[in-house]
């Protein structure tokens, strides 16, 4: 079992001085107990944790992405994410990138410079990709050049240009890591360049599958790039290669939903505000997927009525599009399934990935179904994605009845399940893709990059979400939103450029229902 700890957590506040330019303070204002030296390792730690820990968040914030992706409902009050109301996003992901150049500049050897430069390209690619996925066109070529070029109002690049830039930066990261050496300051992989290189290449395949509507574009060369990476580059090998944050029993470093003395005193857990959704519970029941017993708790009402904890029928999901009042009635009646106790009671319940080995396998399965690659059956990739998720769940779940409800996933079950009726890849290509995305959705319960389930639904239509026009907070209520609005700061301080981007993409209307280039 992999053990990764947040031993660099206290270094997070490093680098206001780098972001704002160095300032010399009088000696009397210098704390002798804190470092005044900034180096590549400290900057690497800060940025890596901001794109992992910062995205994962904790307590109620941990659940927000999963509300939008319809894994669960929330009972404290009506939540915008649950009911499809998207507001303005932030470009804070981009401002983080001011620390990339100093990180590379502080490297003490050519080989270390290659490693930190490779890391910088990956972080840039990750942040620009995630930002563009929310709004469309964004500043890219002139972004983060306020200090170097005095560019305080960066122009916006088209989403196509951003994706081309992201792909090229990931190519560069792969090459640089291949000539680099292991480096300091990495709380995820311990600075192992081989693991970083595998992540970079696997993530590039994820970026490319998001471009599946653009395979005819001669500039992007989507299929050609995909084939080259699969044929010639190292990829993630198992869930130990997950880009994941692990937790321990140190205060402030425990699992985001734990509610134990060493934790944060998570009052949301104590109040039982979460109910797992029909989107999660129903397919697990229908497909006789034993992850159900590791993910959820049975309905107290069904147990009182005589069903056992190991009975699939004892698990009840809530439809997230139902009226909040109806969900409150369901919550008070206690006839629903909540989050499994292991997520609440264990400070190190499981590492939380923002990109995982099973994500890669499902991408490879989808690409095979679409005819991009051949040589390995889509079923093989698909089965490996499912089985790796199951093995991960077993590895991080203590063998206690309260955590698996006396239903264990052994090797024989895990091997047989992907070939079982209803699970195995059969039917038309579209039906097979639906199965792949459904299994990706199930595997990423309380896992995955921010809003991944929602992005997959937006991209493919799967898993299918119910549109309830009487509860939908989007305007109009007959549609799901497609994007976030541009940040207020951009409207205030970079208005000409953002207005031009809104005009060129969306006819001048910064509207959540407008379709970005990626989706056309």
| Both structure tokens of 48 | 């890596």
More confident residue, 273 or 21: 273
**Do both 63 and 78 map to the same domain?**
yes
Mention every residue, 6+ apart, whose C-beta is less than 8 A from residue 20: none
Is residue 76 domain-resident? yes
**Do both 165 and 43 map to the same domain?**
yes
**Do both 305 and 215 map to the same domain?**
no
**pLDDT above 60 for 295:** yes
**Do both 74 and 120 map to the same domain?**
no
What DSSP line would sit under 121-153, residue for residue?
HHHHHHHHHHHHHHHS-B--TTTT-TTTS--SS
CATH number for 358: 1.20.120.840
Is residue 284 domain-resident? yes
Q: Do the Cβ atoms of 467 and 480 come closer than 8 Å?
A: yes
Question: For 198-225, what is the mean pLDDT?
Answer: 98
| Separation CA 231–CA 227 (nearest Å) | 6
| Both structure tokens of 183 | 């480096």
Question: In angstroms, how far is CA 171 from the centroid of its own chain?
Answer: 21
**Do both 306 and 455 map to the same domain?**
yes
325: left (phi over 0), alpha (psi -120 to 50) or beta: alpha
| Number of domains within the chain | 2
Note the pLDDT tens digit of each residue in 438-474. 999 999 999 999 999 999 999 999 999 999 999 999 9
**Do both 335 and 391 map to the same domain?**
yes
| Predicted local distance difference test score (pLDDT) of residue 149 | 81
**Do both 343 and 422 map to the same domain?**
yes
Residue 460's Cβ-side half-sphere holds a number of Cα atoms within 13 Å equal to: 25
Is residue 337 domain-resident? yes
Question: For 479-486, what is the mean pLDDT?
Answer: 98
**pLDDT above 70 for 33:** no
Note the pLDDT tens digit of each residue in 58-112. 888 999 999 999 999 999 999 999 999 999 999 999 999 999 999 999 999 999 9
Q: Do the Cβ atoms of 316 and 337 come closer than 8 Å?
A: yes
**pLDDT above 70 for 270:** no
Confidence of residue 14 (pLDDT cuts 50, 70, 90): very low
**pLDDT above 80 for 34:** no
**Do both 365 and 381 map to the same domain?**
yes
Question: For 362-391, what is the mean pLDDT?
Answer: 98
Is residue 30 domain-resident? no
pTM recorded for the entire structure: 0.92
Is residue 487 domain-resident? no
Sign of CA dihedral 38, 41, 44, 50: negative
**Do both 66 and 211 map to the same domain?**
no
Is residue 508 domain-resident? no
| Both structure tokens of 227 | 């084939």
Is residue 333 domain-resident? yes
**Do both 300 and 403 map to the same domain?**
yes
| Predicted local distance difference test score (pLDDT) of residue 454 | 98
Q: Do the Cβ atoms of 168 and 123 come closer than 8 Å?
A: no
508: left (phi over 0), alpha (psi -120 to 50) or beta: left
| Both structure tokens of 157 | 């690049």
**Do both 356 and 430 map to the same domain?**
yes
Domain hosting 234: range is: 1-22+36-55+89-241
Question: For 283-293, what is the mean pLDDT?
Answer: 98
| Predicted local distance difference test score (pLDDT) of residue 259 | 85
Q: Do the Cβ atoms of 396 and 278 come closer than 8 Å?
A: no
CATH number for 97: 1.25.40.390
| Separation CA 240–CA 198 (nearest Å) | 12
**Do both 81 and 67 map to the same domain?**
yes
Q: Of the candidates 69, 86, 82, 85, which has an alpha carbon nearest to the alpha carbon of residue 321?
A: 82
Note the pLDDT tens digit of each residue in 143-191. 988 777 888 899 999 999 999 999 999 999 999 999 999 999 999 999 9
Is residue 394 domain-resident? yes
| Separation CA 391–CA 84 (nearest Å) | 33
Strand partners, 335: none
| Predicted local distance difference test score (pLDDT) of residue 428 | 98
| Predicted local distance difference test score (pLDDT) of residue 251 | 80
């Amino acid at each position: 079992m992999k053990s990764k700890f947040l031993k660099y957590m206290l270094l997070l506040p490093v680098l206001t001085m780098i972001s704002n330019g160095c300032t010399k303070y009088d000696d009397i204002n210098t704390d002798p107990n804190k470092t005044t030296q900034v180096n590549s390792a400290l900057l690497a730690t800060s940025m890596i944790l901001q794109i992992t820990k910062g995205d994962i968040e904790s307590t109620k914030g941990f659940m927000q992405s999963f509300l939008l992706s319809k894994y669960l409902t929330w009972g404290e009050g009506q939540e915008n994410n649950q009911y499809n109301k998207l507001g303005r996003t932030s470009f804070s992901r981009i401002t983080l990138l001011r620390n990339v150049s100093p990180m590379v500049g502080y490297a003490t050897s050519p080989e270390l410079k290659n490693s930190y430069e490779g890391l910088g390209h990956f972080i840039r690619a990750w942040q620009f990709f995630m930002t563009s996925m929310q709004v469309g066109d964004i500043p890219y070529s002139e972004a983060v050049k306020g200090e170097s070029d005095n560019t305080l109002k960066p122009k916006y690049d088209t989403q196509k240009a951003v994706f081309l830039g992201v792909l090229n930066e990931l190519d560069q990261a792969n090459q640089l890591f291949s000539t680099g050496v292991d480096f300091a300051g990495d709380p995820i992989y311990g600075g192992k360049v081989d693991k970083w290189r595998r992540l970079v290449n696997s993530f590039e395949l994820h970026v490319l599958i998001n471009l599946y509507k653009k395979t005819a574009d001669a500039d992007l060369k989507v299929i050609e790039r995909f084939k080259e990476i699969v044929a010639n580059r190292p990829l993630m090998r198992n869930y130990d290669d997950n880009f994941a944050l692990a937790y321990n029993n140190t205060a402030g470093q425990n699992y985001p939903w734990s509610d134990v003395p060493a934790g944060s005193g998570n009052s949301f857990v104590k109040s039982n505000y979460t109910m797992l959704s029909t989107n999660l519970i129903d397919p697990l029941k229908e497909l006789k997927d034993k992850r159900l017993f590791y993910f959820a708790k049975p309905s107290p009402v069904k147990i009182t009525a005589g069903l056992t904890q190991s009975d699939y029928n004892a698990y009840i999901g809530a439809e997230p599009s139902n009226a909040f009042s109806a969900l409150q009635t369901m919550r008070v009646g206690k006839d629903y399934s909540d989050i499994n106790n292991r997520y609440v009671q264990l400070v190190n319940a499981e590492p939380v990935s923002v990109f995982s080995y099973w994500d890669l396998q499902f991408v490879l399965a989808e690409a095979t179904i679409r005819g991009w690659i051949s040589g390995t059956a889509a079923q093989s990739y698909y089965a490996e994605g499912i089985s790796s998720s199951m093995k991960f769940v077993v590895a991080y779940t203590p063998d206690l009845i309260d955590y698996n409800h006396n239903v264990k996933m052994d090797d024989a079950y895990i091997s047989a399940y992907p070939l079982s009726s209803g699970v195995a890849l059969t039917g038309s290509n579209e039906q097979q893709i639906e199965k792949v995305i459904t299994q990706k959705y199930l595997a990423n319960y309380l896992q995955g990059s921010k809003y991944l389930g929602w992005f997959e639904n937006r991209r493919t239509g799967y898993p299918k979400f119910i549109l309830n026009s009487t509860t939908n907070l989007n305007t109009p209520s007959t549609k799901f939103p497609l994007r976030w609005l541009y940040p207020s700061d951009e409207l205030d301080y970079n208005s000409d450029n953002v207005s031009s981007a809104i005009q060129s993409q969306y006819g001048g209307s910064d509207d959540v229902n407008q379709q970005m280039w990626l989706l056309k």
